[in-house]
Structures are given as C-alpha cells and as structure tokens.
C-alpha cells in the first residue's frame, strides 16, 4: 500500500501567520492520464471532513484563497497564507490512484 507521511503532526500557529504542512508518498501519484491525484482535507473539531484541494493545487468551491496546494510526484505541501481562528482542526492528505486509497496521519493545527 502507498504510505502517506505528513509533517509536522502538530502545528501551533499565531493568528495571521502562515502555516505549511508537508505530505510525502511512498510511490509517485502521477496517473497514466498525466494528472496527480493528491487531495487535502480539513476536519474541524466535531465535524465531518471537508475537501479543500484536489489534484495537488485545485481549490474546491468555497475554499478561501489563503489555502494553496503545491508539489509533484511524491512530495506535496499545503500552505495557509494567514491562519484564521476557523482554520483550527486536523488536516489530511490523501492519494487516490493506488488501491487502497490512503490518508496521511493528520496534522493538528492549533492557535498559539
């Protein structure tokens, strides 16, 4: 199975400051169609997950533009340009091309 490794696992951030989460996969996530199927999810406390980013860098509808995704191959990053209070929660990366789908361990973002 493809293992997704996130770092850091805990991320204390001051309001208004940037934040960055790394995600690495044990296999390339480039599919035969040329697309890279890496997604990012946010799970706020007590809520269901919500997808933020798909295919590395595409923001879902309604996702603030302070969230951005980048990377290629096996190395990916989620960045928040200026953290707001509503960003508190756990963030997961996920790969969708190698069965079974696999998620990273999650990165818990908290406000300092």
Partner 1 sequence: EVQLVESGGGLVQPGGSLRLSCAASGFTFGDFWMSWVRQAPGRGLEWVANINQDGSEKYYVDSVKGRFTISRDNPKNSLCLQMNSLTADDTALYYCARVGRYSLSPTSWGQGTLVTVSS
> What does the binding site for partner 1 look like in residue numbers (CB under 8 A)?
1, 31, 37, 39, 41, 43, 48-51, 54-55, 58, 60, 90, 92, 94, 96-97, 99-106
Taking the complex as a whole, the smallest distance from the CB of residue 11 to partner 1 amounts, in Å, to 15
Q: What is the Cα–Cα distance from 48 to 28, expressed in whole angstroms?
A: 28
For strands 107-111 and 102-103, give the pairing.
unpaired
CB 26 within 8 A of CB 3: yes
Cβ-based nearer residue to partner 1, 27 or 81? 27
Cβ-based nearer residue to partner 1, 16 or 47? 47
Taking the complex as a whole, the smallest distance from the CB of residue 12 to partner 1 amounts, in Å, to 19
Dihedrals φ, ψ of 98, to 5°? -105, 115
> Measured at the alpha carbon of residue 52, what is the angle toward residues 46 and 54, in degrees to the nearest 5?
135
Taking the complex as a whole, the smallest distance from the CB of residue 7 to partner 1 amounts, in Å, to 14
Cβ-based nearer residue to partner 1, 7 or 105? 105
Distance of CA 53 to the CA centre of its chain: 7
Taking the complex as a whole, the smallest distance from the CB of residue 67 to partner 1 amounts, in Å, to 16
């Amino acid at each position: 199975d493809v293992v997704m490794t996130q770092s850091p696992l805990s991320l204390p951030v001051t309001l208004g400051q940037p934040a960055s989460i790394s995600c690495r996969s044990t296999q390339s996530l480039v599919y035969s169609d040329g697309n890279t199927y890496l997604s990012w999810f946010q799970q706020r406390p007590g809520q269901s997950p919500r997808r933020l980013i798909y295919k590395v860098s595409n923001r879902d509808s309604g996702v603030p533009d302070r969230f951005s995704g980048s990377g290629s191959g096996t190395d990916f990053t989620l960045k928040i340009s200026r953290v707001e209070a509503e960003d508190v929660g756990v963030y997961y990366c996920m790969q969708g091309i190698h069965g079974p789908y696999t998620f990273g361990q999650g990165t818990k973002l908290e406000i300092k």
